[in-house]
A and B are shown apart, each in its own frame.
Chain A
Amino acid sequence: MSRIPLPYNPKVLELFKNPKNLGKMEDATVTAVAGNPACGDMITFYLKINDQSIIEKASFESYGCAANIATSSIVTEMIKGMKLEDAWTKVTWKSVTEEVGGLPSVKFHCGILAVGALKRAIRKYCQNRGISPHWLQKELTFEEKQALEEEELAKMLAKRMKLEAEK
């Protein structure tokens, strides 16, 4: 037990230390990335989806902070065995944050990024299959938008960095 007060609850810390479903999935049906190392967090989601549109398994790779690893881990647990429709509609950054027992407010964006990666993977899967189910809204979800925003910021930084390094 730590002798100092901790900003993360025990569940987050446990998931950070022993994440579930960590690692690349060789037989994934679809993969999606969200974030950028320059903004601190980057996650890749791997989903195996069967013909009945059920997520058979999910895994992730994360380059980020404890909150990011914990939320990604819990997302892969939450969606295992779920129908795509349920994963899309029921898994939100709020439900994920709740599931890990809460996060410090400065870390909300880490959970948002994890859900952003999941939604991207589902959207990509539907696009690849050429299907447009009624529950898949055309406009980006809040989480996808936030992920995009963080990436744009990182891209801007990277561009400046490149400019400086090339000279």
Chain B
Amino acid sequence: MLDPYKVREDFPILKRKINNHNLIYFDNAATSQKPRQVIEAIEDFYTNHNANVHRAVHTLSQEASELYEGAHEEVAKFINAKNMAETIFVRGTTEATNLVAYAWGLRSLKRGDEVVLSLMEHHSNIVPWELLSKIIGFNVKYADVNADGTLNYEDFESKFSSKTKMACVGHVSNVNGVVNDVKHLVKVAHENGALILVDGAQSVPHLPVDVKDLDVDFLAFSGHKMLGPTGIGVLYGKEEILEKMEPFHGGGEMIKEVSFNPATGRCRITWNDLPWRFEAGTPDISGGVGLMEAVKYLKKIGMQNVKEHEEMLTEYTVKYMRECEKIKIYGPKDLSAKCGIIPFTVEDLSSHDVALFLDNCGIMIRSGLHCAQPLHQIFKLQSSARASFYIYNTREEIDRFMEVLKEITQI
């Protein structure tokens, strides 16, 4: 069991007052807060070990390299990857999906090929493929979503054909917290001879995720949603697939050798080993160090405990909200298929007003379209308010949130 009160002691920001109220942070699907362990690890890096990685023989560079490689190893173990060759550090989920689109898609997709997505995707999993399809001319097909916000599995299967080369799906929806049966989706993709990229931005921070068990080809996620700093994220890829891929960005760090051949007048380049081949330029070393600390923190708590804590909070909130007839919740009735994300609207109030009223009482939630407009179209919604939880949230906070929310419905 997770003790959120003990966890809270590690998060300095939670001591802040907003408009003279205790801060209640329910916008965790956007980004998580950071424990002092992560903040201190970054400070320690710059205070004691700062140097560039993989270049120099001096002590500091050795230390920085060890830390940065150690971060890869830690992340690899966290998602049960084979080794750190399979974990590429990127800026975040968006860069990870773009990496797959350009480093893999640009060379592997042809005119007439097909890529299957779903209508519940975050824009970061839609836009790269739409952009690339304009260059190459492949087709993008969208699997439908049911009225309750769950994926229509039959429709997903029906979108596959012999032309399908890639499927991209979110593990957990950032709008309604629906958890997709990734194992099943992977099976469907592989049976149809396609690869699958899973957007794990909302799953890796909140559930145990095992890439071997799921058998995904690619998994993308962001550090900042899982207690780490912004600007660092991860692309997991199966080693045998990554080995065959050409680089994404060119520059330092990603090459083994660049030799000038006077006979041809050109440079001959051999690529570096994995994962460095895909990390051109000086990487976000301190970001990697912070992410390593975040992963260690989550490991200590245990991802199963994280999941259960959020499930408890979600169930508690939904039960509370259902008692209030002016509040409408979107998403599946069955909460077992759901993570700690609750989209809702308040009768006669714009979602931006709901967020503004709550903010006045120190409660931070998100309002708007949450970077997933297609899903809002399906719900026929202009916008929604969204509360999302994490390890430091308590039932007491939800009591206060509901107290304020009920007052808002009376306005």
Decide yes or no whether B357 CB sits under 8 A from chain A.
yes
Q: A107 to chain B: which residues have CB within 8 Å?
A: 356
Q: B140 to chain A: which residues have CB within 8 Å?
A: 167
Decide yes or no whether A26 CB sits under 8 A from chain B.
no
CA–CA, A6 and B407, complex, Å: 10
Report if A5-B374 is in contact (Cβ < 8 Å); known contacts: A13-B411, A64-B350, A167-B141.
Answer: no
Cross-chain contact of A5 among B349, B353, B360, B377 (Cβ < 8 A): B360
* Residues of chain A in range 147-167 having any CB-CB distance to chain B below 8 Å: 157, 160-161, 163-165, 167
CA–CA, A164 and B141, complex, Å: 10
Nearest CB of chain A from residue B289's CB, rounded to whole Å: 36
* Residues of chain B in range 349-398 having any CB-CB distance to chain A below 8 Å: 349-350, 352-353, 356-357, 359-361, 368-369, 373-374, 377, 382-383
Nearest CB of chain B from residue A79's CB, rounded to whole Å: 25
**Chain B positions 107 through 129: 1 when the CB is less than 8 Å from some CB of chain A, otherwise 0:** 00000000000010001001100
Decide yes or no whether A37 CB sits under 8 A from chain B.
yes
Give the most central of B123, B142, B361, B373: most A CB within 10 Å. B373
Q: A40 contacts B350, CB within 8 Å?
A: yes
Q: A37 contacts B382, CB within 8 Å?
A: yes
Q: A66 to chain B: which residues have CB within 8 Å?
A: 349-350, 353
**Chain A positions 27 through 57: 1 when the CB is less than 8 Å from some CB of chain B, otherwise 0:** 0000000000110110000000000000000
A side interface size, CB within 8 A = 27
Q: What interface size band does chain B fall in?
A: 20 to 34
Closest to B357 in A: A7
Report if A157-B361 is in contact (Cβ < 8 Å); known contacts: A66-B350, A163-B130.
Answer: no
Decide yes or no whether B22 CB sits under 8 A from chain A.
no
Decide yes or no whether A4 CB sits under 8 A from chain B.
yes
Cross-chain contact of B377 among A6, A13, A64, A165 (Cβ < 8 A): A165
Decide yes or no whether A140 CB sits under 8 A from chain B.
no
Q: A40 to chain B: which residues have CB within 8 Å?
A: 350, 352, 368, 382-383
Q: B356 contacts A104, CB within 8 Å?
A: yes
Nearest CB of chain A from residue B4's CB, rounded to whole Å: 24
Decide yes or no whether B19 CB sits under 8 A from chain A.
yes
* Residues of chain A in range 59-112 having any CB-CB distance to chain B below 8 Å: 63-67, 104, 106-107
Closest to B350 in A: A65
CA–CA, A19 and B65, complex, Å: 64
Q: B353 contacts A65, CB within 8 Å?
A: yes
Report if A6-B411 is in contact (Cβ < 8 Å); known contacts: A65-B350, A161-B374, A165-B374.
Answer: yes
Closest to B354 in A: A65
Nearest CB of chain A from residue B147's CB, rounded to whole Å: 16
Decide yes or no whether B39 CB sits under 8 A from chain A.
no
CA–CA, A41 and B374, complex, Å: 19
Q: A7 to chain B: which residues have CB within 8 Å?
A: 356-357, 359-360
Q: A157 to chain B: which residues have CB within 8 Å?
A: 369, 373
CA–CA, A41 and B130, complex, Å: 29
Report if A106-B407 is in contact (Cβ < 8 Å); known contacts: A160-B373, A163-B130, A167-B142.
Answer: no
Q: B123 to chain A: which residues have CB within 8 Å?
A: 160
Decide yes or no whether B410 CB sits under 8 A from chain A.
yes
Nearest CB of chain A from residue B255's CB, rounded to whole Å: 36
Closest to A41 in B: B350
Q: A4 contacts B356, CB within 8 Å?
A: no
Decide yes or no whether A2 CB sits under 8 A from chain B.
yes
Report if A161-B377 is in contact (Cβ < 8 Å); known contacts: A4-B407, A40-B382, A167-B142.
Answer: yes
**Chain A positions 1 through 13: 1 when the CB is less than 8 Å from some CB of chain B, otherwise 0:** 0111111000001
Q: A104 to chain B: which residues have CB within 8 Å?
A: 356
Give the most central of B19, B349, B356, B403: most A CB within 10 Å. B356
CA–CA, A40 and B383, complex, Å: 8
Q: B19 to chain A: which residues have CB within 8 Å?
A: 5
Q: A4 contacts B360, CB within 8 Å?
A: yes
Q: B411 contacts A106, CB within 8 Å?
A: no
Q: 6 tightest CB-CB pairs across the interface, nearest first?
A: A65-B350, A7-B360, A4-B407, A65-B353, A161-B373, A7-B356
